[in-house]
Chain A
Amino acid sequence: EDQVTQSPEALRLQEGESSSLNCSYTVSGLRGLFWYRQDPGKGPEFLFTLYSAGEEKEKERLKATLTKKESFLHITAPKPEDSATYLCAVQPYNQGGKLIFGQGTELSVKP
């Protein structure tokens, strides 16, 4: 069964305190892995897509990495505006492009 598990469920950081969010997955065949950001009351906003183990992508203070079993979202020197829920999803092959989501990590960055 295709499955995604994110940890921790919640993370509290001080401004400037770097950390990482984990996304572990099992999937029959990985087409791609996606990271989204979701603010309260809004829809998920796309951050990154990773397609093969070893791939890395960066955007401002965020960096996403991928191995054959998990992905990390590294947050360097976070700011309060980085506070949000971060969602990880896998896309299996040949299933119409659908995504299987983890439960999310709620990040809070205090000034």
Chain B
Amino acid sequence: NAGVTQTPKFQVLKTGQSMTLQCAQDMNHNSMYWYRQDPGMGLRLIYYSASEGTTDKGEVPNGYNVSRLNKREFSLRLESAAPSQTSVYFCASRIPGQGGVKNIQYFGAGTRLSVL
């Protein structure tokens, strides 16, 4: 199993450009999450999808939109990129519940984005 796959791995944008970060999981997980990681700030939640067909804002949603395309895929879109969105973006997924592998968020390898 590949787990959580993110594309692209690296991206450089100019201010005002748009792009979509892709995330797919092959673990049949219900819930999916987008985080950003900045030096000294830890990981901060941007948006999440508790189940297919639902999305909710996290701590830092401004400037982003998401789409839960199906159970496997959850994309993050930057409509008009700004230098403040330079960061490392991580996607994660989990099965709700408790015990065994349930409730554990599994992370992808990240997308490193620079906005000039």
The residues of A with any CB-CB pair to B shorter than 8 Å are 4, 32, 34, 36, 41-46, 49, 51, 87, 89, 91, 96-104
Contact = CB atoms under 8 A, between A and B. Distances in A.
A100 B41 CA distance: 11
Contacts of B56: 96
A99 B48 CA distance: 11
B105 interface: yes
16 contacts: A34-B104, A42-B110, A43-B90, A43-B110, A44-B107, A46-B104, A49-B103, A49-B104, A96-B31, A96-B48, A97-B33, A97-B96, A97-B103, A101-B44, A102-B42, A103-B42
Contacts of A34: 104-105
Interface residues of B, number: 26
Contacts, number: 59
Nearest to A97: B31
A89 B94 CA distance: 15
Contacts of B104: 34, 46, 49
Interface of B: 4, 31, 33, 35, 40-45, 48, 50, 56, 58, 90, 94, 96, 98, 103-110
Contacts of B108: 43
A42 B44 CA distance: 16
A-B pairs, top 6 by smallest CB distance, nearest first, are A43-B107, A96-B50, A101-B42, A101-B43, A103-B42, A44-B107
A96 B90 CA distance: 17
Given A51-B98, A96-B56, A44 B43 contact: yes
A45 B31 CA distance: 18
Contacts of B33: 97-99
Contacts of A97: 31, 33, 48, 50, 94, 96, 103, 105
B106 A46 contact: yes
A99 B42 contact: no
A97 B105 CA distance: 9
